[in-house]
Amino acid sequence: MSVSIQKSTLRWLVPLAVIIVIGLVMMSAVTYSLDETEQAVIVQFGRPVGNAVVESGLHFKKPFIQEVRRFEKRILAWDGAPDEITTRDREFIFVDSTARWRIIDPLLFLKSVRDERGAQSRLDDIIDSVVRDTISSTELVELVRSKGWEIDEAAIETSGISEKEMQLLQREIKVGRQELERKILAKAQEAIKGRYGIELVDVRLKRVNYVPSVRREVFNRMISERQRVAEEFRAKGEGRRADIRGQTQKENAKIQSEAQRQAEIIRGRADAEATRIYNKAYSLDPEFFAFYRTLESYAQTIGKESTLIIASDSDYFHYLRRMNPDQ
C-alpha cells in the first residue's frame, strides 16, 4: 500500500519540478532588473528597440530574441596621455589632462560609440584637440598661475631671484589657469553636445611640465642661480666674519693696552712704596744697611769655583778688614 502511494507521489512531483524549472527559465528570459547605478537599452537582433530604460527595478523583455545592454549612470573618469605642446611664447611643455563624464542618453550612446571604450576613444580625440588648441594660443605664465594670485614680495626679495624673474612674477595675469580650464571644458562640451549621448562634467590640467631637454636646462639654470645666491650669502658671511674679527682684535688690543697701563701704574706705585720703605729702613741705620748689602753681594759673586783677583786694600773687602779677629 505504501509503495503504491510513493509511486503516485513521484508521478506528480516530477512534472511539477519540470514545470517550476521551465517557469523559472521563462521568467529569467522575460525579466531583468536594473540597479540604481545602471541604465539599459534593449537590443533585438543587434539593433536597439524602444526607448532607453533609466528606472531601477524589475523590467520585462521578449525572451530569447532580446538582450539587455547595461550602461553606467555614475560619473566616469577619463585620463589622457601626456602630450607635448608648444605655448604661444615658444615654451615646450608636457601637459597631462583629466576629465569626468557620464552617459545621459544610453540609446544615442549605443548608436554612436557602442560602449565605454569607444567613448574613451572619442574623448581622446576631442579633449586632446581642445587642450592643444587652447594651450598653443596661451603663454606659459597664464597656464601655471591663477588670476588674482598674490605675491609675497618680502619672501621673494630674500630668495635672491634675478630681476627678469621678478618682473615675470609681478606680471599681471589676465586669464589664469582656472579660466583656461573653464574654456577648455566649454569648447569640449560644445564639440560633444548632442552627438554621443554623453555629458562632459569637468576637465582639469592634472600636470604641466617642461619637456626633458628643456627641463634639464631649467634645472641647471636653477642650480646656477641657487649657487650664485649661496655665493652671495657666503661673501656676506665672510665680510661679516672679517668685521667681527677686526672688532674683536680691536677690543682685545684695547683691553691689553688698558691692562698694561694699569699694570705699569701698579708697578710704579709698588716701586715707589718699596723705595719709600727702603729709604725709611736706610735712614734708621745706614751703616748696617751698607754692611747687609755687601754680604748679599758676596753671596752672589763668590762661589765655589769663583776666583777673584783684587787688591787687598779694595773697598770690596772693607768690612772684612775691619772685622775683629778676637771676636
**Is the Cβ–Cβ distance between 139 and 89 less than 8 Å?**
yes
Angle, alpha carbons 209-98-216 (nearest 5°):
10
How do the domains of the chain map onto residue ranges?
2-72, 76-210, 229-284, 285-321
Confidence at residue 16, expressed as pLDDT on a 0 to 100 scale: 66
**Phi, psi for 305 (deg, rounded to 5):** -110, 20
At position 42, the amino acid (one-letter code) is I
pLDDT mean across residues, the chain: 83
Sign for the CA dihedral angle at 6, 8, 9, 10 comes to: positive
What's the distance, Cα to Cα, between the start and end of the chain in Å? 176
Q: Of the candidates 185, 186, 179, which has an alpha carbon nearest to the alpha carbon of residue 148? A: 179
Lowest mean pLDDT: which of 173-177, 250-254, 298-302? 298-302
Q: Is the pLDDT of residue 327 over 50?
A: no
**Is the Cβ–Cβ distance between 177 and 115 less than 8 Å?**
no
**Structure confidence by residue, pLDDT tens digits, 166-217:** 666 667 788 888 999 999 999 999 999 999 999 999 999 999 988 887 778 7
- The pairing of strands 198-210 and 92-103 is antiparallel
Q: Is the pLDDT of residue 28 over 80?
A: no
CATH architecture group of domain 76-210: 2-Layer Sandwich (3.30)
DSSP state of 309: -
**Is the Cβ–Cβ distance between 200 and 99 less than 8 Å?**
yes
